Amino acid sequence: MALDNRRLAELAAHDAFIQRHNGPGADDVAAMLASLDMDSMDTLIDRTVPADIRLGRELDLDPPRTEAEALDYLMRIARQNRVFRSYIGQGYHDTHLPPVIQRNVLENPGWYTAYTPYQPEIAQGRLEGLLNFQQMVMDLTGMELANASLLDEATAAAEAMALCKRANKKSKSDTFFVADDVLPQTLDVVRTRAAWFGFELLVAPADELADADVFGALLQYPGQSGQVRNLGPLLESARQQGIMTCVAADIMSLVLLKEPGSLGADIVVGNSQRFGVPMGYGGPHAAFFATTDKLKRSIPGRIIGVSQDSRGTTALRMAMQTREQHIRREKATSNICTAQALLANIAGFYAVYHGAEGLRTIAHRIHRLTTILATGLTEKGVRLAHDSWFDTLRLTGVDAGKIHGRSMAHEINLRYFDNGDVGLSIDETTTAHDLDVLFDVLLGDEHGQSVSVLDEKVVAKATSGIPAACRRESTFLEHPTFHRYRSETEMLRYLKRLENKDLSLVHAMIPLGSCTMKLNATSEMIPITWPEFARMHPFAPRDQVAGYRQMIDELAAFLVELTGYDHVSMQPNSGAQGEYAGLVAIRRYQAAVGEGHRDICLIPSSAHGTNPASAAMAHMKVVVVECDADGNIDAEDLRRKAEQHSDSLSAIMLTYPSTHGVFEAGVREACDIVHAHGGQVYIDGANMNAQVGLTRPGDFGGDVSHLNLHKTFCIPHGGGGPGMGPIGVRAHLAPYVSNHVVTPIEGVEPGCGAVSAAAYGSASILPISWAYIKMMGATGLRRATELAILNANYIAKRLEEYYPVLYKGDNGTVAHECIIDIRPLKVSSGISEEDIAKRLMDYGFHAPTMSFPVPGTLMIEPTESESRYEIDRFCDAMIGIRDEITRVENGDWPANDNPLVHAPHTMADLMDADWTRPYSRELGAFPSEAVKAAKQWPAVNRVDNVLGDRQLICSCPSIDEYRD
């Protein structure tokens, strides 16, 4: 029986991913449109998106693929990558991700779909995971404090430089010292950052630090070519000269080496990748950042701290949340927002699973294999550049060409230095057999060397590459958490227990405005652990990464089409990094055309805090443009300020649709005004989910935008990272985006320094966005945008009777999110936006974005992935809460004793022997039918923020507390 074309198309439609990604079906859409008095989706969109910026055509993309087709195609691309055994080292090492962690964390939506733990009562699981990470970093580095991750080692080093400058009040110098054995990619990123902060760099052998007039210094431990030296005397003399010091350390080596904290370092940074996180062609992995206690109030990024809940129970939270860019804005020296929470959790769990003994075994084994290799090579007359090592050797006076030829035949990658030296690093996955192969490769065929013979000799001689003065003497990972979970059964249950404390997308919608918590489809996630993507070293030779190159090129081409820009740079690791990279590209371009003096950046008052912080980091002066009563940019104020600063106007940073959730009609005009005064237009692409397929920033006036791939393009938020923030640029800016010292990027000026440690940022999560676009196609992507807008308008409509909707466009619609105003209710009832946020937990929901961009409001973004059923459930909860507020207003419940101020309710509340509250236990914990059917319990009662900040504790509770 022949299938006709129509039937075939129907069958294909059944497989279509579009209907899996999008929540509302056809009937829902009709009903939701009817509730808005709209006769069609086109009418809604016509009334919402200004006509003068509409794309007016379908995006030019291939037809949508099914999940099976897309995975099949991507597998063929992935297989073009050739996974060689990597000994390149240089900050990235192969590792064994324990399968129990791989399956239950990395591949588990209960972990990867969570958001940054802003609501601690429903985030105690990942907060504990991150606290473990901090404790692990503190123990291994010997420092008093550690944050919960940064983007990569190179940016962490750049942050350390900024912190040194800020904290070192004694030094008048503007010069920062970088030891010449620092990793090249770190130097590249530090150089970029220094240039725009206005710092000089002094790159010299570490010993010259003693005579340098500098405010701070960066040293590598062990040095990039493997040398292990006692940094103690250098750090001590620096301290005496008033120089602040940062040590970039290899985390595995710290298991055996003396911890930098005990040697006198002020800051220790590094990459935790080799603690179980795949190399992934450069990322994502979590960098760590540890400091002395003195620096605790200026440490960049997020710190998890210990506090108490309203019952006095120990509870974790993000410390000093308000200290972020949103408060410091243009005075911030760091713009870090999204970091690497998921990867920090994985590295922390690796340490929990192995414990100190396990890590010692792993590190000793790595060191021993390296020692065997070093001994065997020297016996055969090979000269080593250093007589000390942990896991890295540098061979000098060898025939690099011949070694290279043999290594290729064995599918091995080594490191080749410019001077002809050959380097290699041993890792956790290296075996004795690998060492035999390495002898063959390094010595040629007739060497007669073998590990088994040598091994005995080495044991006999008990040689070590670690000088006596550098051996670690202190213990580490002594907290019970690092002892208890050694069997897989125990570990599995620990991971599950933590997961169960957290609310993620597996439970309910997370309506966080500006964060776009949409579906992270399983099919999109599957490729990231394929070895062809996961096991690639970022500095693998070009001809081994053809698959990555094709995937990245295709994704870049998609994004060019979606944004209307001419070129995409795939380097920035987050939205904020993209902002920085984009502004720096603007400044480089302006310098190249003789306009380098332009340094004013106009930023609307409603902007996200990363905008002014990024501008400050690009050495720009921020001038704030006011918004009018409707939340739109005040066109008059913009004109006036552009005029006033015409000669020095560098750029404007706009968010579109605005952070108020509105498609401003005047955006084209705003861009024109800035262009007329010689400025460039940066459009913050965080709200791209309202634009895809309908309008393009590159068409209506943008010169550059970042795209948060972890918002619009389905990379999961991971509980606070990873992310990717590639930037789209118009052609004139393309030569000025970030280059990379190890992996030069075609078409970019050689002098343009890097912003990330790896050339393509966190490349291994790019397949997620690639797959999303591939499976949605042009119609699917446009449909997603339309539905995101429909869902937001539907919510605004359902809630406006109960809560005022703050901003709307000219025709009374909102974009993909809406802001409801809680301030009037606070006046009438005393109930705050925070009480509502906590009460939502009792109803089984995560709160919307609180008090951004307007204090005292909630910003709701449903995304297209939420069904009408779920959205109604959320609206019902909000309406239920409004009824409760009415009862407070009416005096039925006292303002200080009602289910809102006591929210969230925990099992401990229900067990209370004397319940004296004016409402029932049932109303407290089970306010809706939905939660009776499936209850997600907040793990703790409301967490005390003030206490947590006053007595800042960022380590695991002491062992004594466990004894109590």
Ligand X SMILES: *Cc1c(COP(=O)(O)O)cnc(C)c1O
Binding site for ligand X (CB under 6 A): 337-338, 514, 574-576, 608, 610, 655, 659, 684, 686, 708, 723, 725
Measured from the CB atom, is 219 or 517 closer to ligand X?
A: 517
Measured from the CB atom, is 608 or 696 closer to ligand X?
A: 608
* Helix (H) or strand (E) run with residue 6 in it: helix 5-15
CB 334 to ligand X: min, Å: 11
**Facing residues of 257 across strands?**
471
CB 686 to ligand X: min, Å: 3
Nearest CA to 255 out of 346, 354, 186 is that of: 354
Cα 630 from chain centre: 33
Q: What angle is formed at CA 575 by the lines to CA 676 and CA 22, rounded to 5 degrees?
A: 105
Paired tokens of 436: 């035999």
Query: Cα(412)–Cα(374) distance, rounded to whole angstroms?
Result: 18
Query: Cα(276)–Cα(94) distance, rounded to whole angstroms?
Result: 8
Measured from the CB atom, is 713 or 926 closer to ligand X?
A: 713
Phi, psi of 588, rounded to the nearest 5 degrees: -65, -45
Question: How far apart, in Å, are the Cα atoms of 882 and each of 837, 879, 919?
Answer: 12, 5, 16
Measured from the CB atom, is 337 or 931 closer to ligand X?
A: 337
CB 517 to ligand X: min, Å: 11
Query: Cα(261)–Cα(263) distance, rounded to whole angstroms?
Result: 5
CB 571 to ligand X: min, Å: 14
> Could you check whether the bond before residue 855 is cis, i.e. omega within 30 degrees of 0?
no
Measured from the CB atom, is 538 or 578 closer to ligand X?
A: 578
Measured from the CB atom, is 466 or 754 closer to ligand X?
A: 754
CB 723 to ligand X: min, Å: 5
Query: Cα(691)–Cα(658) distance, rounded to whole angstroms?
Result: 12
Measured from the CB atom, is 307 or 705 closer to ligand X?
A: 705
Q: What angle is formed at CA 758 by the lines to CA 754 and CA 759, rounded to 5 degrees?
A: 65
Give SS3 for 115.
coil
Supply the angle between the helices 451-461 and 432-443 in degrees, to the nearest 10.
100
Give SS3 for 638.
helix
Q: What is the DSSP string of 273-311?
A: TTTT---GGG----EEEEE-GGGGGG--S-EEEEEEBTT
Query: Cα(532)–Cα(547) distance, rounded to whole angstroms?
Result: 8
CB 611 to ligand X: min, Å: 6
CB 877 to ligand X: min, Å: 24
**One-letter amino acid identity for 41?**
M
CB 97 to ligand X: min, Å: 25
CB 683 to ligand X: min, Å: 10
Measured from the CB atom, is 223 or 282 closer to ligand X?
A: 282
CB 684 to ligand X: min, Å: 5
CB 514 to ligand X: min, Å: 4
Nearest CA to 49 out of 693, 670, 639 is that of: 693
Q: Between the CA atoms of 356, 363, 102 and 547, what dihedral angle is there, to the nearest 10 degrees? A: 160
Measured from the CB atom, is 255 or 690 closer to ligand X?
A: 690
Measured from the CB atom, is 285 or 645 closer to ligand X?
A: 285
CB 817 to ligand X: min, Å: 10
**Facing residues of 908 across strands?**
none
Query: Cα(508)–Cα(844) distance, rounded to whole angstroms?
Result: 7
Nearest CA to 771 out of 708, 715, 724, 717 is that of: 715
Measured from the CB atom, is 146 or 337 closer to ligand X?
A: 337
Q: What is the DSSP string of 826-872?
A: HHHH---HHHHHHHHHHTT----EESSSSTTEEEE---TTS-HHHHH
Q: Residue holding tokens 């007039």?
A: 213
Answer whether 137's CB lies under 8 Å from 301's CB.
no
CB 158 to ligand X: min, Å: 15
Q: Between the CA atoms of 569, 574, 578 and 579, what dihedral angle is there, to the nearest 10 degrees? A: 170
CB 585 to ligand X: min, Å: 17
Nearest CA to 658 out of 789, 799, 517, 817 is that of: 817
CB 576 to ligand X: min, Å: 3
Answer whether 390's CB lies under 8 Å from 465's CB.
yes
Which residues, including other chains, have CB under 8 Å from residue 540's CB and lie 6 or more apart? 84, 86, 88, 281, 413
Q: Where are the alpha helices (DSSP H) in 564-676?
A: 575-592, 610-617, 635-644, 667-676
Q: In the sheet that 727-729 helps form, which strands lie side by side, from edge to edge?
A: 567-569, 727-729, 704-706, 680-684, 649-655, 600-604, 621-625
Measured from the CB atom, is 315 or 683 closer to ligand X?
A: 683
Measured from the CB atom, is 141 or 333 closer to ligand X?
A: 333
CB 717 to ligand X: min, Å: 9
Phi, psi of 383, rounded to the nearest 5 degrees: -95, 135
- The residue number with the shortest CB distance to ligand X is 575
Measured from the CB atom, is 81 or 334 closer to ligand X?
A: 334
CB 689 to ligand X: min, Å: 10
CB 865 to ligand X: min, Å: 18
Burial profile 91-128: b = 16 or more Cβ within 10 angstroms, e = fewer: bbbbbebbebbbebbbbbbbbbbbbbbbbbbbbbbbbb
